[in-house]
Amino acid sequence: MSKALAWSRTRTRSTDHYFPSFIEELEYSFAQEVGNKIHTHDGWNEFDCFTISRRLIMGLVAKLLIGNECRNPATIDLFCDYTAEMLVGGPYIRGFPDFLKPVIARSSRVVKLSNQMQKLFLDLIKKREDKSEKTAKEDQQPEDLTSWFWSWSQQEPNSSLTDLDIAQLLAANTFGASFNTTVVLVQCLCELATRPEYIGPLRDEIISTIRTYDNTWTKDGIDSMKKLDSFIKETHRYNCFDYAGTPRVVKKDFAFKNGLRIPKGTVVFTPNAPMLFDKEYIQDPHVFDGFRFYDLACGSKTPEAFRYTSTNSRYLQFGDGKHVW
């Protein structure tokens, strides 16, 4: 999966049409989920913030996973139902003894939706086979992860992945790719609603940036929106998901560089909230400051260290790679 994500990141260059296609998809999804449901233009319109955010994010996830088929409303419905059920049904099933889990699973929606997801991806993989052969002859890049995985499994000599393996992998990553992003988007909207003083500065930065880039949404333009990046990061910090994150099960006895040894089967976590609200690392940690990281970056010789996606030993919401061992 890491190779597939690395491939998708290389497609965000300004000269590649891949990123503009995501912007086009976002505009389409926004029109479907918001624009077409506005009942009045001279008053308030009521929207379910979480539902709309989830469907907007799921449209982009579907674009990444399955390409142009993402505009099928039934597919978006299935993706949303699957991720919602995995969030509730998965932990519920894991709470039972191992010998009961298969029985409990059959009585839940998890198995039914998982089978529907697998069938969807298997059908798409079959459609991709002829297209992938044509793409290879024309030396074209795959346009979604379904095509990428199938092509990679055919070209990689040591790959033992079957079509079912690929389908299961893609289905599993539907949840991982959408849930956190949806929650952060909802948090940002809620913070903006309760802190309207940030709306003006953020809007000004966005409008100015778009004008700088010929009135077009570009990857470089979005990367240059420093205040927006800071607001998102502060929102995620202030509303962090939990006290501990990135849980991992130790598969074999392991020794850290400092000599600490942990046995097989141990569950380890990274500290989350304790670090994000520690006065030693964050000034006034219980005060929301939307431009906290923007100000820190402006006064630093390494401004990139304060970007939302940057990680270090004090900010582990996304983990920090194997080097922390």
The torsion angles phi and psi of 246, rounded to 5 degrees, stand at 40, 60
- Which residues fall within 8 angstroms of residue 106, CB to CB, at 6 or more apart? none
Region of 284 (left: φ > 0; alpha: ψ -120 to 50; beta: rest) is left
Listed ranges 139-148, 244-253, 280-289; the one with the highest mean pLDDT: 280-289
Average pLDDT, integer, range 249-271: 90
Residue 137 above 70 pLDDT? no
The CATH classification number of 1-194 equals 1.10.630.10
Q: ∠ CA 125-152-73 to the nearest 5 degrees?
A: 35
Confidence (pLDDT) at 150 = 82
Count of residues for the chain?
325
State percent of the chain over pLDDT 90. 41
> What is the per-residue pLDDT across 14-37, written as a single tens digit (0 to 9) for each?
677 788 888 899 999 999 888 877
Mean pLDDT across 167-176: 86
Q: Which residue has the higher pLDDT, 246 or 186?
A: 186
pLDDT for residue 236 is more than 90 = yes
Q: Would you give the DSSP letter of residue 140?
A: P
Type of residue at 306:
F
Distance in Å from the first CA to the final CA of the chain = 22
Report the pLDDT value the prediction gives residue 188, as an integer from 0 to 100. 96
Task: Give strand pairing partners of 255.
Answer: 261
Of 55-64, 228-237, 247-256, 298-307, highest mean pLDDT: 228-237
What pLDDT score does 196 carry?
96
- Give pLDDT, residue 156: 74
Beta-carbon count within 10 A of 265 CB:
10
8 Å CB contact between 183 and 126: no
pLDDT in tens, 178-204: 888 999 999 999 999 999 999 999 999
For the residues 286-303, what does the mean pLDDT come to? Answer: 95
Domains of the chain: which residue ranges? 1-194, 198-325
The string of pLDDT tens digits covering residues 34-89 is 887 777 667 788 888 999 999 999 999 999 899 888 888 999 999 999 998 888 88
Q: What is the 3-state secondary structure (H, E, C) of the chain?
A: CHHHHHHHHHCCCCCCCHHHHHHHHHHHHHHHHCHHHCCCCCCCCCCCHHHHHHHHHHHHHHHHHHHHHHHCHHHHHHHHHHHHHHHHHHHHHHCCCCCCHHHHHHCCHHHHHHHHHHHHHHHHHHHHHHHHHHHHHCCCCCCCHHHHHHHHHHHCCCCCCCHHHHHHHHHHHHHHHHHHHHHHHHHHHHHHHHCHHHHHHHHHHHHHHHHHCCCCCCHHHHHCCHHHHHHHHHHHHHCCCCCEEEEEECCCCEECCCCCEECCCCEEEEECHHHHCCCCCCCCCCCCCCCHHHHHHHCCCCHHHHCCCCCECCECECECCHHHC
In this prediction, residue 139 carries a pLDDT of 55
pLDDT at 246: 78
Alpha-carbon gap, residue 84 to 93, rounded angstroms: 14
pLDDT at 294: 96
- pLDDT at position 104 is 84
Residue 107: pLDDT above 70?
yes
pLDDT at 325 over 50: no
pLDDT for the residue 235: 96
pLDDT of 157 strictly over 90: no
Give the pLDDT band (50/70/90) at residue 103. Answer: confident
Question: 3-class secondary structure for 243-297?
Answer: CEEEEEECCCCEECCCCCEECCCCEEEEECHHHHCCCCCCCCCCCCCCCHHHHHH
Residue 323: per-residue pLDDT? 43
Q: State the pLDDT at residue 132.
A: 59
Average pLDDT, the chain: 86
